[in-house]
Chains A and B, each alone.
Chain A
């Protein structure tokens, strides 16, 4: 079974500054995938970035990057140069890869508010 923990219910960041959203996970799978999704107030779930457990490099996608620390079982999302449009809920998720397709397991989320 997998478990995701996001300990920051809410975060504030000044526009143009960088912000780190924390995520730790627990799994017995040797191979797994880690995901971050953004949910704006309109409600849709937008995929941001993916990290495989065997990827040696930290994933990056534009202004999004991951600080993946496998030994500590953490995969923190870093958003650089925050924009007002980044204000949203952010969910960390994972799925085990040892036994075929398994559902994504989500954390409770962090609400990010970007201040002008």
Chain B
């Protein structure tokens, strides 16, 4: 049973470009969470999605950032017009959504903005 798959593992973008980060949850999981981690920091919650719905986006910046989890295919975190401050590790986690279960994390995408 494959775990949470994130790609790419590393992404380099120049300022002003767009970054698209993909996350395929574990089989049978319909809940996806995106987190951002700066060096030597804990993970900061960004957005929580179920299939085709954004449940909580309280941690996501209002501008340039968007997320989706379509009926078919992976969840996408999209950052438009990237700036150097967007450089971070972005983690996706999934859960089946049945009670206080743990989140299963992917290996993360390291975004570097030049």
Which A residues contact B (CB, under 8 angstroms)? 4, 33, 35, 37, 42-47, 50, 52, 91, 93, 95, 97, 101-109
Contact of B108 with A by CB under 8 A: yes
> In the docked arrangement, what's the CA distance between A83 and B44, Å?
29
B42: Cβ under 8 A from any A Cβ: yes
State the B residues within 8 Å of A (CB): 31, 33, 35, 40-45, 48, 55-56, 59, 89, 91, 93, 95, 97, 99-100, 102-108, 110
Q: Are A43 and B42 in contact (CB under 8 A)?
A: no
Query: How many residue pairs at the A-B interface have CB separations less than 8 Å?
Result: 60
How many Å lie between the Cα of A33 and that of B107 in the bound state?
23
CB-based contact A105/B97 at 8 Å: no
Knowing A44-B108, A52-B100 touch, does A101 contact B48 (C-beta < 8 A)?
yes
Nearest to A37 among chain B residues (CB) is B105
Of the residues A33, A43, A50, A104, contact of B33 by C-beta under 8 Å? A104
The 25 listed contacts between A and B (C-beta, < 8 Å) are A4-B42, A33-B100, A37-B105, A43-B89, A43-B108, A44-B105, A44-B106, A45-B91, A45-B93, A45-B105, A45-B108, A47-B102, A52-B100, A91-B43, A93-B43, A101-B55, A101-B95, A103-B59, A104-B45, A104-B93, A104-B103, A106-B35, A106-B44, A107-B42, A109-B40
Q: Are B45 and A103 neighbours in the complex by a CB distance under 8 Å?
A: yes
Task: Return A51 CB to nearest CB of chain B, in Å.
Answer: 10
A52 to B108 Cα, complex, angstroms: 27
Min CB–CB distance B61 → chain A (angstroms): 16
Contacting pair A106 B42 (CB below 8 A): yes
